Amino acid sequence: MAQELADWSELQYDLLVLIARRLNLIEDYLNFGTVCKSWHSVPTKNNFNNDLSRAPWLMLADEEGNSIRKFFSLYNGMILNKRIPKASRKRCMESMGWLIMVGEDEGEISMLHPFSGVQIELPHQNTTVDYESHQTGWLMSFIRKAVLSASPSHTSDYLLMVIEGGMRFLSFWRPGDVRWTRVTWEGINRRCFTDLIYFNGQIYAVDYSGNLLVCDVADVVGSKPTKGHIVAQVPLDPENGLDESYIVESLGSLFVIVRNGVLFRSLRDDSDRIPLTLLPEEVEDDGIEEELTYGTTIFHVFQVDLAAGKMTETRELGDAAFFLGANASISVQASQFPGIKPNHIYFTDDFFESYLSYEEGGGLDMGVFNLANGSIQPHYNGVSLSRFCPPTWVTPTLY
């Protein structure tokens, strides 16, 4: 007689809860609820440890490049297929597991948690100060970077800070605000910002001159100038300059990372050629007569000494690995996640001009940089390029 197979759908609810609470990987937890109808009710936030440290996932677009299709885990190589219709034809940035989305046609802004589905509507970009004078031609590029001070999943006392207005201004939004509040710097000339972070109750930002600036949110009152100052400056090499920069916190210290090679440049040789096609209007409008290319050539990492007011270049991050791109810059301890290499920088393509300049869209310039020897391992094969959702790092959280 054939042995009767167990019906896993009839397992007692209390037993399923015990099993679920032993799952530490969010991908296992999400898949747990897809087994059958009776298992679907078990994965709730009360039955899962959402506070565990997690390695970022790579968020990828669909084949058409119009929306989000799947997430890839470097930790275990698992691919989670999950379409997110609410992100369709919207530019997506990321912070603390939340997507900050800007619409293509109207420029509307919202936050979306990709796994819980919770969405928070934000004031329109036209509520920023003097919007008419600083709006961008491409509405989705008005906000350059967006960073949360704390997760909306855990508290209502948080800030969403953004670089806006063609990278010239910092603004923030608190829950309940009907418009964006702009940080007006006292005694500091206008500059273009590249990245920002909320650290020890203050906003730190880095600009294209390599300056690290700081201000206290409590000092921002209405339109009055805010007392801020330059903390330190990247000791730039005059020959190489600074194409892009980031700021990241790792084990209580701040680091500023300089990335070069990401702007358009003339071809040096055939090995510099990229498999993308410039849009005809780009060639006609800009009068381009030579073949152009772009792509990361090197990173420089500087550790910030806030007390001394200086930065020192380092090629040793210890156990840390950095994840950079259109996300809020992330640091993780590699020893906690097999598959992630210490002293490496994982980067995605955040050169916005490529999104609009090429028929295929953006996302080609991504890979892993070995800080010790300066080598780059490209990782763009099989990735769908996109004008809306190029590959982006996302910190996975259940809610």
Return d(Cα 197, Cα 210) in angstroms, integer.
15
Residue 197 in tokens: 């972070």
Return d(Cα 117, Cα 84) in angstroms, integer.
9
Residues 6+ apart with CB under 8 A from 305: 232, 311, 312
Specify the length of the chain in residues. Answer: 399
Residues 6+ apart with CB under 8 A from 26: 48, 54, 115, 396, 397, 398
Return d(Cα 212, Cα 251) in angstroms, integer.
19
Residue 206: the pLDDT is: 95
Q: What is the distance, to the nearest Å, from the Cα of residue 379 to the centroid of all Cα atoms in its chain? A: 17
Q: Which of 224, 221, 208, 122 is nearest to 168 (CA)?
A: 208
> E strands of 37-108, at which residues?
57-61, 68-73, 79-84, 90-95, 98-103
Successive 10-residue mean pLDDT values, the chain, 399 residues = 66 80 72 73 66 78 74 78 86 94 91 93 95 86 93 93 92 94 75 92 91 80 66 80 92 96 86 83 60 90 96 96 94 91 95 84 92 91 75 86
Residue 285: the pLDDT is: 57
Answer whether 234's CB lies under 8 Å from 193's CB: no
Residues 6+ apart with CB under 8 A from 388: 61, 65, 66, 67, 89, 90, 91, 92, 104, 140, 355, 361
Q: Which of 69, 45, 73 is nearest to 57 (CA)?
A: 73
Answer whether 243's CB lies under 8 Å from 260's CB: yes
Residue 381: the pLDDT is: 65
Residue 1: the pLDDT is: 47
Assign 102 to helix, strand or coil. Answer: strand
Residue given tokens 């003339």 in the structure block: 266
Answer whether 385's CB lies under 8 Å from 392's CB: no
Return d(Cα 41, Cα 122) in angstroms, integer.
31
Residue 65: the pLDDT is: 61
Residue 382: the pLDDT is: 61
Residue 91 in tokens: 């530019």
In single-letter form, the type of residue at position 21 comes to R
In single-letter form, the type of residue at position 29 comes to Y
End-to-end CA distance of the chain: 48
Residue 221 in tokens: 């009152």
In single-letter form, the type of residue at position 199 comes to F
Answer whether 128's CB lies under 8 Å from 182's CB: yes
Return d(Cα 122, Cα 91) in angstroms, integer.
15
Residue 232: the pLDDT is: 95
